[in-house]
Structure 1
Amino acid sequence: MERKQELYENLIENYKQFPCLWDIKCEGYKNRVLKDEAYENLLPIYQKIDPNANLECLKKKINSMRTSFRRELCKVRNSKKKTGSAPEDVHTPTLWYYDLFHFLIEDESGREGIDNIDFELENMVSIVVAT
């Protein structure tokens, strides 16, 4: 049997393959049927971790992981904003899957001028819409 961490890594990698669930620029992002199909595809993967899981459990787990990721991301960003902060003063994420969720911020390089509040509000809306 695979280690639990490997199962979660597999879940995240498969989640990444469904941009309709996380990319607000994706055409399918507003398509409820497409999103439901994507979650249906992810459910058997999550059921290897939690055999009794249903779609609601899966959605809650993904949203929980995304929230934890965003919290760590904010800590990293805020520590970089401190004037005169040395590289060793930048927050080091402790979340083991932090790097696996970096695809959520890949497109952000083209979004200069967005501040943390706007970023957090935008992602909060994404979570509400996704559920």
Structure 2
Amino acid sequence: MALQSPPPAIPFEWTRANTQHFIELLKEHPSVWNIKSKQYKMRNVRSASLETIKSDLSNFANCTLRVEDITKKLHTLKTQFNREMSAIKASQKSGAGTDDIYTPKLWCFDELRFLADGEPRPSMSNLDEGETTTAQIDVVATLPSQEDAVESPDISLPPTPSLTSACSVATSRTPSPLPSSSSGGTSKKRKQIDEIDNMMALAINKLLSLPSPNNREPLLDISKFVDTELKNMSEMQRKLAKKLICDVLHMGDMGDLTREHSVVRVAGSDTFMA
């Protein structure tokens, strides 16, 4: 008697119903998508969650499903959600009215909002790409080389009389005048420079508020030195320097700085690494 082969497996299709059920399963298993979760870093937990989702969804759709299908669909949903979020933020940044804010076209956008909880928050908003040519700064620990290492000059300035005077240096600076081209473009550039100046003032005040075992005079000297050096730079160089300084201050505030950190230029590009 000839043996009969089993019926072929029914291929899985990502219908709207299957996708909706998959989204509900993702909410129950944050270890699969939430990189902030401790369980996300535990490979055995994440693998077990993927198997559970695969089994549940296979039974729900009465189809054969692989773990690879789960991970690919998750990547697709995250990409689509992030693209819609970027479009919303871009329309808000452009100053559009409430009625002109971008409306997501992805049918499951609202159901995917929980994915935003698993995205890392940026340390600082990047400068407008239209105003500067610098690439995004990636913070990495690297040993300084002989060619790329930047040596910090010894700072020896007379102590400033008071903390108030040092703060006034940082907060009372006026933006450099810009050449007049069009009223809209000039206003946008002036607003950006004002925002950078305010950011720099906050950074210097943050330096001044750091605790010191002895006194705060050395910090006042550093703030005055930085302010003097920035005044001697061109407008573009001053903007780039402020961006780097603020990134380093944020790393220090988060406790991420080490003795091996330095600011170097990546060979063959305009990218800096701290």
Same fold (TM > 0.5): yes
How far does residue 82 in structure 1 lie from its aligned partner after superposition?
A: 0.7
Greater mean alpha carbon deviation, residues 42-51 or residues 30-39: 42-51
Helix, strand or coil at the partner of 2:76 = helix
Residue of structure 2 equivalent to 1:77: 89
Pair 1:107–1:39, CA change in 2 (3 A)? closer
1:37 to 35, 43, 48: 48
Between Structure 1 and Structure 2, which shows a larger proportion of helix residues? 1
Q: Percent identity?
A: 28
**RMSD of equivalent CA atoms:** 2.5
Q: 1:50 to 1:59 in 2, by over 3 A?
A: farther
In structure 1, the partner of 2:32 is 21
Change (3 A) 1:107 1:33: closer
Correspondence for 1:95: 106
Which amino acid in the other structure matches residue 78 of structure 2? R
User: What's the TM-score once normalised by structure 2's chain length?
Assistant: 0.37
Q: Which runs of 5+ in 1 are unaligned?
A: 119-131
Question: Aligned pair in 2 of structure 1 residues 98, 50: CA closer, same or farther (>3 Å)?
Answer: farther
* Alignment equivalent of 1:55, drawn from 51, 67, 76: 67
- TM-score normalised by the chain length of structure 1: 0.73
Q: CA deviation at 1:25?
A: 2.0
Structure exhibiting the larger radius of gyration computed from Cα positions: 2
Residues 1:23 and 1:31: Cα distance change in structure 2 (over 3 Å) = same
Query: Structure 1 residue runs of 4+, over 6 Å off?
Result: none
Distance between the aligned counterparts of 2:100 and 2:62, measured in 1? 38
Equivalenced residue count is 112
Between the aligned partners of 1:88 and 1:6, the Cα distance in structure 2 is: 31
